[in-house]
Amino acid sequence: MLKATGAVPHGGGKKFARDSAEYALILRWLKQGTPRGSDKDPSVTRIDVAPRSAVVTGAANSRCW
């Protein structure tokens, strides 16, 4: 949690603030002992990305992000 909130330096940068909903959710999960859920819980069976391919053209394409 210290790295994710930027309280200690690291290469990934700050991910969320201590007063954010994300922080509260992860903290609650940690305090509960990081439960994994039950075998009856829904699970991801497939992820589709659309479009399947893309072509970027123009001047902006020459920069690396």
Tokens standing for 49? 């990305």
Looking at the predicted structure, is the pLDDT value of residue 24 above 90? yes
39: left (phi over 0), alpha (psi -120 to 50) or beta: alpha
Are 22 and 16 contacting, i.e. CB atoms less than 8 angstroms apart?
Answer: yes
Q: What pLDDT, on a 0 to 100 scale, did the predictor assign at position 28? A: 96
* Segment 18-32 mean pLDDT: 96
Eight-state DSSP code of residue 20: S
Asked if pLDDT for residue 62 goes beyond 80, the answer is: no
Q: What's the confidence (pLDDT) of residue 58?
A: 72
Average pLDDT of the chain, as a whole number:
87
pLDDT score recorded for residue 20 = 96
The amino acid present at 13, given as its one-letter code, is G
Q: Is the pLDDT of residue 64 over 70?
A: no
